Amino acid sequence: MFKTVHDAVAHVTELRRTLRDVVTIDVVVAPPFTALAATADRARDSRIAVSAQNLHWEREGAFTGEVSAAMIHEAGAQYVIIGHSERRTLFFETNMVVNKKLGAALAADLSPIVCIGETLQQREASQTHAVLDQQLREGLDGFTAGQLDVLIVAYEPLWAIGTGRNATPEQAQDAHAHIRARLRQWFGVEMAERCRILYGGSVKPDNTAALMAQADVDGALVGGASLDVQSFTAIVKSAQAGPHPPS
């Protein structure tokens, strides 16, 4: 919950300048609902795409305060974040809610960025893989590989979000490799290889390169560091310089 319409437009305007030489990576910004249309308009004809931060699973109805996938699409967004850790922990969203939102996003031709991840307690109890399995299985239940053609998965270890404590590259790779293995098992090799798996958790300019060097880390879901143009630009350029430029 940062940036007014004016702030968001100014942010993207500056990003267009600082990222003008970025040609091998997809960049997506996720402003508040109020700034979606203006930000999408300012990002037009650039490498910067726009995502909503959330959506409701119904197309319309008596859901005061909610925003539908169709509204988001009409505002100019191409992506939507689903099941972000803050939605799960602060607003009690379950895997079943994530599943319904995923269906709404796909029906509206939005590319879903589905977030999953474990708490510190779960990691210390060696439950990381089991937690990821449950979130993936219930969140993606009922969908086919073809339907999930545009799926993006974001691994967010909750203990590394906004804490300054990020997962080591090896920890990130372990989780990402497990996620891809499960996608391969459940949806086939082609879908698993095509699916982009992002890492999110205190991503900063000084740790991006090491994270992006991991075989199964395809990109980053950047939080606080994305609010500053110079910091975000440094992250994008560091990712672009990696061995397999992510999207």
* Residues assigned a catalytic role: 84, 156
d(CA 107, CA 95): 19
Query: Which contacts qualify for 11-15: CB closer than 8 Å, 24 or more apart?
Result: 11/227, 11/229, 12/39, 12/42, 12/43, 12/48, 13/42, 14/229, 15/48, 15/229, 15/232, 15/233
Specify whether the backbone of 3 is left (phi greater than 0), alpha (psi in -120 to 50) or beta.
left
124, 80 contact by CB (below 8 A): no
